[in-house]
């Protein structure tokens, strides 16, 4: 039996090195490509001399993958990694990858340098969003190294991020009450659960009636996977009882549910909260309730346990908001003399 032979090169490519092909456009301009060993194509440009130099560089690296280019690695990352993250994180990462794809679409991973990362951050008008996108870039690059797409060092490592101002908003009880009074029943339930448990919005919305066992509300946090049981006592007991027994047309599985028994989605929460906040004339955000819970607990250790942080430093430095010290005025009168 004859050994299986590879497909012969087209005559138009016979003058080119192995794995290099040309494509002639209608305009007559020729574009050159490198054929990877996994059936992908890497553009080499329209200048034959430059294309051969790039070809030599690729050949020197040995077998490379089709997703050695950033968009290819991004597509594989979306397919293999994102499904394991929470729906909200998937949405955020996907949006970040869309921007990164546009910025690095012509780059192979080994071609990206720290300078390119710095330029990306400098040119991004939304500085905080740019930091988040560069964090996604770094996560993707580290993953690409782990799975063998590239062995190039992560160019984002050591690149200083844009300066971010620390969020210092503390929601007072009066500000909370103002929005609560403008909220519908299901939003009131969500607000109270977030304020009393200190959990993230997504974790509040997924709380089920079946999560209540042994006098505790058990939560598995989406972000950290931490599992904690929050004792159902005091005001939380009243709120849970209200959630369970609120009159509805139908009753579903969740603590926070609509009048028809449906689970409140994140979009519903956002829209209802924005409407109530505008009516109340307030500007704080739903996410500020997590730091409020951490701040309202006088014990930092207790706040750390409630929020599910591994480090007490995270709770103290990021989630505890400054309210200012309450002090007493001078009580003694100055001596006036005779």
**219 has which bridge partners?**
228
Question: What's the pLDDT score for residue 102?
Answer: 94
pLDDT above 60: residue 66: no
Please give the Cα distance from 259 to 266 (Å, whole number): 16
pLDDT above 70: residue 302: yes
**35 has which bridge partners?**
41
Between 115-129, 135-149, 217-231, the lowest mean confidence (pLDDT) is in: 217-231
Per cent of the chain over pLDDT 90 is 53
Q: Is 321 helix (H, G, I), strand (E, B) or coil?
A: coil
pLDDT above 60: residue 293: yes
Question: What's the pLDDT score for residue 268?
Answer: 95
pLDDT above 50: residue 2: no
Find which of 20-24, 222-226, 321-325 is predicted with most confidence, using mean pLDDT.
20-24
Question: What's the pLDDT score for residue 4?
Answer: 40
For residue 329, name the pLDDT band (cuts at 50, 70, 90).
Answer: confident
Which residues, 6 or more positions from 71, have their beta carbon under 8 angstroms from its beta carbon? 101, 104, 105
Question: What's the pLDDT score for residue 131?
Answer: 95
Question: 25-38 pLDDT, tens per residue?
Answer: 888 889 998 887 65
Averaged pLDDT score across all residues of the chain: 86
> In whole angstroms, how large is the CA radius of gyration of the chain?
29
For residue 318, name the pLDDT band (cuts at 50, 70, 90).
Answer: low
Order of strands, edge to edge, in the sheet holding 41-45?
Answer: 20-24, 30-35, 41-45
For the entire predicted model, the pTM comes to: 0.62
Between 81-85, 262-266, 303-307, the lowest mean confidence (pLDDT) is in: 303-307
**212 has which bridge partners?**
217
- The DSSP code sequence of 184-248 is -HHHHHHHHHHHHH---HHHHHT-BGGGEETTEEEEE-TTT--EEEEE--HHHHHHHHHHHH---
Between 38-42, 198-202, 279-283, 310-314, the lowest mean confidence (pLDDT) is in: 38-42
What's the token pair of residue 95?
Answer: 């949006």
For residue 325, name the pLDDT band (cuts at 50, 70, 90).
Answer: very low
Of 287 and 310, the one with more pLDDT: 287
Question: What's the pLDDT score for residue 63?
Answer: 46
pLDDT above 90: residue 271: yes
């Amino acid at each position: 039996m004859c050994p299986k032979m590879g497909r012969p090169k087209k005559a138009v490519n016979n003058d080119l090195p192995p794995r290099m092909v040309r494509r002639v456009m209608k305009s007559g301009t020729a574009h050159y490509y490198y054929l990877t060993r996994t059936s992908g194509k890497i553009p080499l440009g329209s200048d034959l001399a430059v294309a051969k130099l790039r070809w030599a560089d690729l050949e020197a690296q040995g077998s490379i993958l089709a997703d050695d280019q950033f968009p290819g690695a991004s597509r594989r990352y979306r397919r293999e990694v994102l499904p394991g993250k929470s729906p909200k994180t998937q949405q955020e990462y996907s949006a970040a990858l869309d921007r990164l794809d546009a910025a690095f679409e012509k780059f192979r991973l080994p071609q990206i340098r720290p300078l390119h990362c710095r330029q990306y951050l400098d040119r991004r008008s939304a500085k905080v969003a740019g930091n988040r996108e560069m964090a996604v870039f770094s996560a993707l690059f580290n993953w690409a190294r782990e799975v063998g797409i590239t062995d190039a060092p992560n160019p984002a490592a050591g690149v200083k991020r844009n300066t971010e101002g620390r969020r210092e908003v503390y929601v007072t009880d009066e500000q909370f009450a103002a929005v609560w009074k403008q909220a519908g029943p299901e939003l009131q339930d969500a607000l109270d659960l977030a304020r009393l448990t200190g959990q993230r919005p997504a974790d509040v919305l997924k709380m089920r009636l079946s999560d209540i066992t042994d006098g505790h509300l058990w939560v598995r946090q989406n972000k950290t996977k931490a599992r904690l049981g929050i004792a159902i006592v005091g005001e939380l007991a009243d709120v849970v009882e209200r959630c369970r027994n609120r009159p509805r047309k139908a009753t579903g599985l969740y603590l926070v549910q609509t009048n028809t028994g449906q689970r409140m989605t994140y979009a519903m929460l956002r829209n209802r909260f924005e409407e109530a906040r505008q009516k109340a004339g307030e500007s704080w955000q739903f996410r500020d309730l997590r730091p409020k819970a951490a701040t309202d607990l006088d014990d930092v250790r207790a706040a750390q346990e409630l929020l599910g942080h591994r480090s007490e430093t995270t709770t103290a430095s990021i989630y505890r908001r400054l309210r200012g010290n309450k002090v007493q005025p001078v009580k003694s009168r100055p001596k006036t003399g005779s």
